[in-house]
Homo-oligomer: A and B are copies of this chain.
Amino acid sequence: MQRYLIQTNGPGLYAFTSQVDVTGTGLLTLFVQHTSCSLVIQENADPEVQVDLQNFFARLVPPTTDPAMSYLTHTYEGPDDMPAHIKAALLPTHLSIPVQNGKLMLGTWQGLYLFEHRVAPHTRSVIGHMS
């Protein structure tokens, strides 16, 4: 088992494909140990895609200071906290990727990203497990 630490600095996608080091053949599972960020596989070509993704989720789940979200009650950890938990429910906590001869079997345009939902900087912990 391995642990990857990813430093974030506000909402958005953080590429970490190149940090992932695998050997042999099997299945790699990546698991993020938090409930206010996510792991996603997304297009690795045009950075516009990553910005658009973040903006879509920011509109689908706005901060609790937005009148549309006035029904939310868990507000004492900041206006971005409960929306972060909702995004963490909507997006994956873990990814499983087949590995062949030490190579992740990602498609040509697929990259691995940590999707940070909180505003404050965080150090995020991702566990990597090969089976």
Number of copies: 3
- A residues contacting the other copy or chain, number (CB 8 A): 54
A53 and B125 CA atoms in complex are apart in Å by 24
A93 and B109 CA atoms in complex are apart in Å by 13
Residues of chain B contacted by A90 (CB below 8 angstroms)? 90-91
A106 and B109 CA atoms in complex are apart in Å by 30
> Does more than half of chain A's interface fall in helix, strand or loop, or is it mixed?
mixed
> Is there contact, CB below 8 Å, between A52 and B35?
no
> Is there contact, CB below 8 Å, between B82 and A27?
no
Determine if A23 is an interface residue (Cβ-Cβ < 8 Å): no
A41 and B43 CA atoms in complex are apart in Å by 23
Determine if A79 is an interface residue (Cβ-Cβ < 8 Å): no
Given contacts A41-B93, A56-B72, 15 further A-B contacts (CB under 8 A): A1-B25, A27-B131, A31-B96, A34-B107, A34-B109, A42-B85, A48-B74, A51-B73, A52-B73, A52-B74, A59-B71, A90-B90, A94-B95, A94-B97, A105-B127
